[in-house]
Amino acid sequence: MLHVTRVGTFSLLLITGVYVWLSGSQLAVAPAAPTRINKAIELLERGQPIYYTQISGGGYDEGMELAKTWADYITYNLEHSAFNVSELTEFMRGLADGGPTKSGHRTPAVICVMPVAGVDASTVRANAWMVEQVLSAGVHGVLLVHARSPEAVRAFVQAARFPMHAQAVGNGLEEGLRGSGAAGHPARVWGISPAEYLRVADPWPLNPEGEILLGVKIEDRHALEYAEVTTKVPGLGFAEWGPGDMSMSFGLSRNADGTWPKVLADARTRVLAATKAAGISFLNVVRPDDVEAMIDEGVMIGAANEKAAEVGRQYTTRTMPW
């Protein structure tokens, strides 16, 4: 679509949703408005790798400080810090007040790492309240650690869903457990109505309109046994292999030259292959000197610093501002 509007001495050119100001020899392109609430999902849908930074706790001030972060999403780590939902709620409020992002999103996406291990379904169900509370704080996703069985992961997905969302229910999943009173605050954080929140607060890509991103850590030898089945549980969007905990599980560490012993390298290869077969994203550490090779290998989510993210975004010719 091409449309030109005169505004004083300027011309405003609209080409497929992108406004271009023309004035003499100058040209400036304004980004198209976001099409999603969750910036991470919007980029993954476009086939673009995403990059995150991490915080272990923090409230309103930390949210304000990170509102315009270079990262596409923020990992809010509750596995290795106090489980303080009040502080998380304030963090999300700070992000919203400090926004929008350079890409025009109300906030960066936020994914919480849970302190509960996915060792079995009963453990996850007993702690489903944790999943509901962090989602009610307004976060955009949740990461389950030590996902040792597909049954545990199914219980995790169930805890993250409202019962009216029916995709895959009866075909690998049970009816969601989130309650009707959980929409008010996250709707305000997301800048939408409670009714709209109830409609879109569902895992993607299971629900194509969902704005929740769920992931698992396959990070010990027990979880590795079920990697191919676990990653195919409906509702997951990504998985990682957790090299630190995986190495401890095998009683090994890095070689002197910085490489992994074969059993650990094979574990990573297996989890990566499982994510590809399941059609979900693989998360791995990326650095400025290896991010291009990681992308070529299939890494779609990078634990990165700002420089690595910059190199990766340029390599994939990202157009969304960061």
Residue 254: predicted pLDDT: 86
Calpha distance 312→322 (Å, rounded): 12
Q: Per the omega criterion (within 30 degrees of 0), is the bond before 205 cis?
A: yes
Report d(CA 42, CA 211) in Å as an integer. 9
The per-residue pLDDT for 234 is: 98
The pLDDT value given to residue 257: 86
Can you give the pTM of this predicted structure? 0.90
Pick the closest to residue 90 from 116, 114, 110 (CA basis).
110
* 158 backbone dihedrals φ, ψ, rounded to 5°: -60, -40
CA angle, residues 100, 104, 105, in degrees to nearest 5 = 70
Q: Structure tokens of 317?
A: 């010719």
The strands making up 2-7's β-sheet, listed across from edge to edge, are: 2-7, 10-15, 18-23, 26-30
pLDDT of residue 8: 45
In the chain, the largest separation of any two C-alpha atoms, in whole Å, equals 70
DSSP, residue by residue, 133-202:
HHHHTT-SEEEEES---HHHHHHHHHHTS-TT--TTBTTTBPPP---GGGSHHHHHHHTS-HHHHHHH-S
> What pLDDT is attached to residue 232?
98
Residue pLDDT, tens place only, 159-168: 999 999 999 9
User: Could you report the per-residue pLDDT of 96-150, keeping only the tens digit for each?
Assistant: 999 999 999 999 999 999 999 999 999 999 999 999 999 999 999 999 999 999 9
Residue spans per domain, the chain:
1-30, 34-315
All residue ranges of the chain with pLDDT < 70 are: 1-31
CATH architecture of the domain 34-315 equals: Alpha-Beta Barrel (3.20)
The burial class, CB within 10 Å (0-12 / 13-18 / 19+), for 250 is: middle
Tokens encoding 162: 């409202």
Quote the tokens at residue 90.
């304030």
Tokens of 221: 């030898």
| Other CB atoms within 10 A of residue 311 CB | 18
Residue 102 is given by DSSP the state T
Output the pLDDT for position 38: 98
